[in-house]
Amino acid sequence: MSNNEYLTSISMKIIWHSGNARTKANKALDELAEHKFDRAKELMEEARNEIILAHQAQTKIIQEEASGEHYEPSLLFSHAQDTLMTIMSELNITEKLIMLFETLENKR
């Protein structure tokens, strides 16, 4: 497999796992709307597991480049990194929303 094919494969892996994480986070928000806090937290744990896989794939490329491996600039890899960072932010906000709504529910 060429470096370009390898980078494309890793990029798609990052996008795939990041997208799975976003889907889980969106489902967690749906559960939150129904006041199902435990299920929302379970979904967020699944989302975090997906984002870890995406982040590990990105880190592998970065470490390889730091060790001297050369990759041509790739729009797809840039997109994958952007997707990962965006969804990581979404997960953080979703987790904060779950905590906030659970706190409000417990104060009733």
Dihedral angle, C-alpha 84, 88, 94, 99, nearest 10 °: 160
Count of other CB atoms within 10 angstroms of residue 62: 11
30 is in an annotated binding site: no
The active-site residue out of 35, 55, 70, 79 is: 79
Q: Determine whether 79 is an active site residue.
A: yes
Binding site listing: 82
Residue ranges of the annotated binding site for Mg(2+) are: 82
Just list the catalytic residues. 79
